[in-house]
Amino acid sequence: MPVITLTSDIGQEDFIIGAVKGQILSIIPGCLIADITHQLSSKNYLQGAYIFNNAAKHYPSDTVHIVMVNFFQYPQEHVLFARYNGHLFVVPDNGFLTMMLGLRPKEIVKIDIKGANTFVQITERIVESVAYYFASGNLAEAGEPATEILEIFPTQPKIDQAWMEGQIIFIDQFENVVVNIRQEEFEAHAKGRPFKILFTRNETIEVLSRNYGAVPIADKLAWFNSAGYLEISVRGGNMAGLFGLSKYDEHQMSKQRPNDNKWFFQMVRIFFE
């Protein structure tokens, strides 16, 4: 049975998501539809990639993920339809494909949307191409070859022999803070050495916890969450609000010097002894 997920920055107060689901069920009867989220930021691709990737990887092979993020940032005559690691992705040609995958997939075609002026007209073209793929199993015939696409890649942690520096990529509704340092990267670099996790100018954490219950109420903690990313929190508190931490903004940071004050509140450093 075909599976399609929907992800967007549209929200669910408008009719758009309901209309897209209606189109899918009309054109691909019996299809299973799942919402990942419709609350992504249209400006913060790094955060969007973190949220999408860590949900999408749990879906079965051959799932088609329709991702509608910052759809009208650039004039669109096509959208991208790509296959990678057993999953398929329909994404605007605005850099989000390479941001979420961390690479350019080898199999990409373009879905023509010229002459489609409204969002619902565009999504109808998308669903028709997806239906063709499900019927034929042939991605190459579901669109035209995509030779040039816009490529934007995720920011990686900076690494030196004695330290690692990561960016805050996500703050959840409880104001827990997620940093783009993965557990395998940390362990490979730490090599069992003692460490200090430094955030803001002088706040540190020196141990890793198994979960939130491992420390007393109101204590700071650091752990690697279920997605494998470093997360720093205050048990029963709001880490971001208490310490003035904020999500990393590549556009903003490109205009700032490294010693500008806001830089300290979007980065987390780990020092090794």
Q: How confident is the model at residue 249 (pLDDT cuts 50, 70, 90)?
A: low
Is residue 263 predicted with pLDDT exceeding 80? no
Measured CA distances, 223 to 123, 191, 229, 235, 236 (Å): 40, 17, 8, 12, 15
Question: Could you read off the pLDDT of 122-144 as tens digits, one per residue?
Answer: 999 999 999 999 999 999 999 99
Out of 3.30.1280.10, 3.40.50.10790, 3.40.640.10, 3.90.420.10, select the CATH number for domain 3-145. 3.40.50.10790
Q: How confident is the model at residue 177 (pLDDT cuts 50, 70, 90)?
A: very high
How confident is the prediction for the chain on average, in pLDDT? Answer: 91
Is residue 38 predicted with pLDDT exceeding 80? yes
Question: Could you read off the pLDDT of 89-130 as tens digits, one per residue?
Answer: 999 999 999 999 999 999 999 999 999 988 899 999 999 999
Taking the whole predicted model, whether its pTM rises above 0.85 is answered as: yes
Instruction: Could you please state the CATH topology (level 3) that the domain comprising 158-272 is classified under.
Output: Elongation Factor Tu (Ef-tu); domain 3 (2.40.30)
Strands 163-171 and 177-182, by their bridges, are antiparallel
Domain ranges of the chain: 3-145, 158-272
Spatial separation of the C-alpha atoms in residues 196 and 211, rounded to whole Å: 18
3-state DSSP helix/strand/coil % of the chain, to nearest 5? 30, 30, 40
Is residue 252 predicted with pLDDT exceeding 50? no
The helix or strand, by DSSP H or E, that contains position 49, with its residue range, turns out to be helix 45-56
